[in-house]
Amino acid sequence: MPPSLRFGGRVMDFRRLVEPAGLLYGVAARQAVQRGNALPLAGGPAAFTCADLIEDDARSGFVPVASIPASWQPELARVARSPVSGMLPETPLVMGILNLTPDSFSDGGHHLETANAVTGGLAMVQAGAGVLDLGGESTRPGALPVTPQQEWDRIGPALIALRAQAKGTVLSVDTRNSLVMEQALAAGADVINDVSALVHDPDALPLLAERECGVVLMHMRGVPETMAQHAVYQDVACEVVRELGKRVCAAVEGGIARERLVIDPGLGFAKTTEQNLEMLSRLPLLANLGCRVLLGVSRKRMIGALTGVSDPARRDPATQAATLEALPLGNSLLRVHAVEGMVQAVKLWRAVHAT
C-alpha cells in the first residue's frame, strides 16, 4: 500500500509524483503564472513551466503546464501550494551547525567546551543565523554511537545557556534519541532534527506527538555505521521522495501535525557522490510532500570529490553554491557551518530573483 496523506480534503498517495522543471523567477514567473503558462513552485519565488508526470515507474516526459491533463490537477496543486510551518518564521532561514562532539568530520572538538559552544553559537546569531542546530552525536559515515546520556551531557549546558542568551533565535537539537529530545524540549528547544526520521527510537514519535515543537525528518537508509551499504537506487530522487513520504505519513498518523514537519533529503546519507548530485539537481521533486525543506550539504565529502578540495574547512564556497539550490522551494532551511557567507549568498540570490 503506497503512503498517502490528505491534502485539501483529498487523499494523495505518492505513486504519482510531479517533477517541476523550466523554472522562472521574478517578473517572468509572475507573468507566466497570470497567463496560465506556469505554476508557483511550493508557493516560493520560482514558477515552473513544465513537469514530468511520474506514476510508479512510468514517466510522461516534460509536458507544458497548460497541457497537463485534468486528472493530474490534484498533484499539481500539491506541488504549487506553499507549505505552512507555524514552528518557524516564514522566510528562508540559515541554520548554523553547532557540533558539540569530538569527532564530527569538519569541526569536531571546536565546540566541545560549553563556553566555546556558546561563544560560537552567539557569533552565528550575530552573523545572521535564524536557527542554531546543536548536535552531540557524530553521524558521519562510519561513526560509532554514543549513549543518549553522553549525548545530552554534551548538549544540555550549551542549550540552556543559549536559550538564556539568544532569546529570539530558534534552537534545534540534532538527535535521534527520545531521552535527549525530552530533556532538550524541557530546556527550551524549538525543533527536533532526527536523522533517522523517527525510526531509531520507538519512543520518539509518541513523545513528539504530545509536544508542539517543529520536527525535521531526514532521509537515510540503515544507520551511520552501515548506511553506505544501502546506496542502491533505480531512481534516487523518486525513491528518496517516496521513502520520505512514508515517514511523513507515519508522523502524521502518529499524531504530529503535518504543519510541524520539515523534510531533509539527507545528502551524504546512504548516497554516493553521483546520487547526491542527482538529488541536488532534482530538489523540486520534494515539493510533492507539501512540507518545508531543509538542505544540509555543508562541507560534505561530495563537495570534496567534485571540487578536489580535501580539507572540509575550505569547502564553504562550494557549500554556498550547492545550498542555494534549495531557495526555489521557498522558505527553506539552509544548514551550514559558515553562516556569514551563506547569509550574504542568500541576500544576493533573493535580490537577483526579486523575491
pLDDT in tens, 204-214: 999 999 999 99
Please give the model's pTM, rounded to 2 decimal places.
0.94
Give the residue numbers annotated as catalytic, written as ranges: 300, 335
Give me the mean pLDDT over the 82-99 stretch.
92
CA distance 203 to 206: 6
Which burial class, exposed, middle or buried, applies to 112 when counting CB atoms under 10 A from its CB (0-12, 13-18, 19+)? middle
Return the amino acid letter for 352.
Answer: V
Give the rounded percent of residues in the chain with a pLDDT score beyond 90: 85
Position 1 confidence tier, pLDDT thresholds 50, 70, 90: very low
Beta bridge partner(s), residue 4 = 13
Which residue would you say has higher pLDDT here, 108 or 199?
Answer: 199
In the prediction, which pLDDT does 37 show?
97
